[in-house]
Structure 1
Amino acid sequence: MKKFGSAKNSKLQFEKEYNDSQKTPSMKFTIKHTFFIAFLFFISFAKAQKTAINFFENDYKSALEKAKSSKKPIFIMVYAAWCSHCSKMKSTVLKEPNVIAFYNSNFINVMMDSETPIGKEFMKKYNIKSFPIFLFLDEKETHLYSTGGEFTTEEFIAEAQKVLNPNTQIPTLEKKFNEDISSPENCIMYLSVLRKSIDSDKSDEVTARYLATQSKDQLISPINWKIVAFGVNELNSKGFETIISHQNDFAKAASPKRVEAKILNVVKKTLTQNINYLDSIGYSKNRILAKNINLAKADSLVFKLDLQMYEVTKSWKKYEQTTLESVEKWAWNDYQTINNISKIYIDHITDKEALKKSILWAKRSVEINNSAENTLLLARLYNKINDKKSAIENAQKAKNIIIAMGWDVKDVNQFLKELGTK
């Protein structure tokens, strides 16, 4: 058996050597060469997996030309250097491999700096008012979809997938809505993408057109509440008038809290936008509408927004008048708001009677929260009316609190020095 096994092994060895001998040097080289090519292909393939989205940097014109030739839609991220949300998206989600692969495969990509000349022109053209904005256009520059803010990786890809589906593109949803304006389903689908887009200003008009098709019997329903909740954003709009005039009815269809929250949201959004654009005339008009709601929470909100508006416009007389009229009504238990008012009075108000009134508010702040900050503000207000004794007394109280907390007394010591103490 052992001998037979040896003979068999010898035969196999002979066949192997014979087969090898039949391979020419060129064949052996070809095999090695094939393996080498395969290895190079693998390396090239690995390198082909991009480590970044292929962005045209501030070059929309070139991107548009490439979109026309490739028939791919354009993705534009509009950002500002100071925008923390922009920086976070750029440093996290936009560097994810699956995001990179998806956007490089499906879009021509542009990174647009809003502070460059071309960026400013682009923002004006597409009515961009916030950052970051993610805008999708086709090769004819038709607005297909847009959104903004921060997203997770999965959300960011899901948003882009809506662009690739004609049924979820803005032009399709707009067309369906216009074909049957009375359809709540068409309206809400259109509003759901419109309200987060660069054309969100159109939401109020769309909502008003839909509501005009509804009879009194049809108006109050859960889906119509959802439509006004989605689509109403402006105080001066038919939709907001509808909410106010049917507030109790909508409260039954939704809930009193949800209706109240929507009203306050519209008040805040409208007036804040006026503040951001320093639109004093628009603010005054919308403020009247907000006050006419006769809702205590809205009045309280308007008071705080008034203070913001008068501060950014440096309207110190209006600031003084508003605080004298309303602090005890709307901020009496809010020491943080009182503190902010105290700081403004120290820096900008000179009327002695108004300053004496502000001391009463500052005392209330100390009653609510006996902190070093609150007490030191009270001391500074006393100093503003030249009551040195009370200023020193309260500054020393503030210093004692600071020492007890183990904090730095440098600032309070400097103030005491200014007051003439050692």
Structure 2
Amino acid sequence: MKIKKLIMVILVFSALGGYGQQVSKGIKFFKGSWAEALAKSKAENKMIFMDCSIRSCIPCREMEANVFPQEKVGGFYNENYINVAMGMDEGEGKELSSYYGVGSFPAMLYFKPGGFLVAHEQGKRDAEELLADGNKNLQLKDTITLEERFEKGGYQDPIFLQRYFKEVMENEPLGAEQHAFDKIIKFKGADVLLEKKYWEALGIASPGSAAALYFVKNHLKFAKIYGENAVNAKIMAIYFNNRFLIWYGDDHLNNKPSYENFKKRMEERGVPDLSFMKMAVDFHQRCRDFKYDEAFAIADPFMKSAKWWQYYRMALHADWLTAGRPLERKKVMVWANKALQLAKTAQERKESQELIDDLRNPFTNLILTPVVYGSNI
């Protein structure tokens, strides 16, 4: 009887086993490191299919048991792709998950030979859907991606850079902009960030990135070129960028300890106007806890004698935090109007007016509960 039970356990484990479980007729997953898979892909001139999963993902296990073992699926993927099964919650999968912005599972990544990402598919697939994805993405094998153009000299072209960072912001996973700046620094050195074409994109850098750390450390050098208002506004844009406030990375804000750690990191990094920035963190925390009276009580003493960038950035951030709350938005409108009054340059006036117009629309920026990457919901 015990032997029968043991056999049953083994059979069940085989069906719902670890990452990339397969049978001989199904998808054959490469056994080796990611670097080795890239080398094999380049040597054989074959694209890479990466199955991304985590241990708690039930749909991932279902695909492993019911889709990957199918002969027609295996036949197609084995012929056309180097197949990699990557557990994104262990080993080098953790780093790859962060690098490619994989936050929901199952996920399927498709790469050109050698490693440039061309497609990021999400959600459970049946056999026909997976085959359709594979056929569709196979057509992208000879596509010249933005990443390729960037690395082949595009980082020196201001027009291309504007398009590149716009694409990164709109369509790429969180964290892609950090890698873009890392590459710029690698190719040209950190001082290149002082140039206008890179300065204009700095606001999307993540707080812990090399670019942001250099910017904060050298903010006085930037201020001599672009002005104190613009520099401080950009630093706050980095630390209170809504894309990163819902990120799973080092600088996320989703519980009380993380708020305190966030303020501590700002202090360690030498962020200017630290007391104001810490207040902004406390304001954010109270709003996210729906304690709006407390939030504005914390902010009011600072806002009585604020500068343009402080009125503008606080109003811009509060626009998101108070969406759907008319009473609080009236208070935010006061800050936005003060920003317009204090604006000294055409750009400051333009940005302040756009913010006022946005606040007048009750249907903009409807508040969303942040989804922390890494959850399986």
Instruction: Name the TM-score class by shorter chain.
Output: 0.3 to 0.5
TM-score of the two chains, using structure 1 as the length reference: 0.38
Judging by fraction of residues, say which structure has more helix.
1
Q: Which has the larger radius of gyration?
A: 1
Q: For CA contacts below 8 A with separation 6 or more, give which structure has more relative contact order.
A: 2
